[in-house]
Amino acid sequence: MTALSVNLNKIALLRNSRGHDEPNVVAFAKKFIDLGVTGITIHPRPDERHITRQDAIDLGNLIAPLKGIELNIEGYPSEEFLQLIEAVKPDQTTLVPDLPGQLTSDHGFDFNTQAEFLAPILSRLKQTGTRISVFLDPDLEQVKMAAKSDADRIELYTEEYARTFISADHDEVHQRYQAAALLAQELGLAVNGGHDLNLNNLKKFVSIPGILEVSIGHALIIECLEQGMNSVVEQYLAICQHSA
């Protein structure tokens, strides 16, 4: 079974557009948890254009005492971000190579050029007790290098998988994701996935053996607007429960 972690960034973006606390991020986290979701993801950025530091603290306080529910905080490992992780101590920290002001994630880490940068960061995060996941493209050489680091998991960046889903070359793309996932597991890394996954393309992705978690936000929130939260979450959980 694959765990579903709902990314709340778009809830926070909608709230921030009016300058008050509606919709409330913690209240929506509770709604998703009550519907059976076992993970909440947030990706705070330096300009706090959606998720804020206070949101991270509030969600940490909500989720810490809840058995079987995990908080995943994603982000670029700046000093400010690392201090936030040390304060909140989420169940999982996902490191993403976003630049300040970047609209959204668009690539994984390159261990050829960034392994030395990541090494002390991973060592520091280990001291917090958080599980560490590193955002990665489905590249076998990158997987091999990630396995030599202190990371516990990789999160496969699935934009290409989603973008090519209805194209003629999708089977080849899918095979690359599967090969990366299987190699990671052989080398001792657990595997997550995220970015542009939705109700249409998720089933095939989680047919890859061993995908432990998917993080989904943008598409899921749109689908909730179109179909309603209860129906959408029920559909996602059904797909995840029948994963490989």
124 belongs to an annotated ligand binding site: no
SS3 content of the chain, % helix, strand, coil (to 5): 45, 15, 35
Number of domains in the chain: 1
| pLDDT tens for the chain, residues 1 to 244 | 999 999 999 999 999 999 889 999 999 999 999 999 999 999 999 889 999 999 999 999 999 999 999 999 999 999 999 999 999 999 999 999 977 665 566 689 999 999 999 999 999 999 999 999 999 999 999 999 999 999 999 999 999 999 999 999 999 999 999 999 999 999 999 999 999 999 999 999 999 999 999 999 999 999 999 999 999 999 999 999 999 7
**113 lies in which domain range?**
3-241
45 belongs to an annotated ligand binding site: yes
131 belongs to an annotated ligand binding site: no
Evaluate the CA torsion angle 30, 96, 46, 105 in order and state its sign: negative
Q: Whose CA is closest to 87, among 123, 119, 59? A: 59
Question: What distance lies between CA 156 and its chain's CA centroid?
Answer: 9
Please indicate, yes or no, whether the overall pTM of this predicted structure exceeds 0.85.
Answer: yes
CATH number of the domain within which 153 lies: 3.20.20.70
Radius of gyration (C-alpha) of the chain in whole angstroms: 17
61 belongs to an annotated ligand binding site: no
Q: Which residues are catalytic?
A: 43, 74, 195
104 belongs to an annotated ligand binding site: yes
7 belongs to an annotated ligand binding site: yes
Question: What is the C-alpha separation between 198 and 11, in angstroms, rounded?
Answer: 17
Tokens of 70: 């995990």
